[in-house]
Chain A
Amino acid sequence: NAGVTQTPKFQVLKTGQSMTLQCAQDMNHNSMYWYRQDPGMGLRLIYYSASEGTTDKGEVPNGYNVSRLNKREFSLRLESAAPSQTSVYFCASSGPLLAGGSHSYNEQFFGPGTRLTVL
């Protein structure tokens, strides 16, 4: 099992260009997530998909769109890249709740990241 895979690993864009970051998981997980990581700010949720066919905004959705193409794949699109979108982007997926009741949690499994620079 490859787990969560992301392409590309690195990308340089000029301001105004568009691109799509690809993510796929082979763990049959229902939920998938896109985060961005910036120095001193941890990981911030951009969009997530609780199940195939649904997507919801996270903490920082502006300037991004997503598509849950099928259960395996969740893509992130930048329509018009800006320098403020220079960041490392991580995709994650999670399966069913572990433990029980109010103390349950979903373990999220992360991909290796895409390092994006917008000039």
Chain B
Amino acid sequence: GQQLNQSPQSMFIQEGEDVSMNCTSSSIFNTWLWYKQDPGEGPVLLIALYKAGELTSNGRLTAQFGITRKDSFLNISASIPSDVGIYFCAGHTQGGKLIFGQGTELSVKP
């Protein structure tokens, strides 16, 4: 079946540092999504990417959809304590289902 590999699995950083995480797939997706899950909550959509090569920003977040449509990365600049949580990439299938990566757990030290 389709799989997404997300790395790193976890990150411990100092407030103010930049963060980068990425996701690769064995299959092509037409749309890539990045979600964030706050502790004790459900995931919330951060960014949607639907053109190969596209670079999209949302505040301090920047995400890119790889040109091969098999990978994506998410950058967070100048991290703050509320960035703590689990970040998931997800590929959107033609049937409307999402295939999720394993998640990157981010911890930020004030």
| Chain A contact residues, CB within 8 Å of chain B | 4, 31, 33, 40-45, 48, 50, 58-59, 90, 92, 94, 97-99, 102-108, 110-113
Contact = CB atoms under 8 A, between A and B. Distances in A.
Contacts of B45: 107-108
Nearest to B102: A42
A43 B4 CA distance: 11
B102 to A, nearest CB: 5
18 contacts: A40-B103, A42-B6, A43-B98, A45-B97, A59-B1, A94-B96, A98-B48, A99-B50, A103-B30, A103-B31, A103-B51, A105-B33, A105-B92, A106-B92, A110-B42, A110-B44, A112-B40, A113-B40
Query: For chain B, which range describes its interface: under 10, 10 to 19, 20 to 34, or 35 or more residues?
Result: 20 to 34
Contacts of A103: 30-31, 50-51
A110 to B, nearest CB: 3
Instruction: Give the one of B4, B30, B42 with max A CB within 10 A.
Output: B42
Contacts, number: 62
A92 B42 contact: yes
A51 B92 CA distance: 18
Contacts of B101: 42
Contacts of A105: 31, 33, 48, 50, 92
Top 9 A-B residue pairs of the complex, sorted by shortest distance between their CB atoms: A110-B42, A103-B50, A42-B100, A105-B31, A105-B92, A43-B100, A42-B102, A106-B96, A102-B30
A5 to B, nearest CB: 11
Contact of B42 (A99, A102, A111): A111
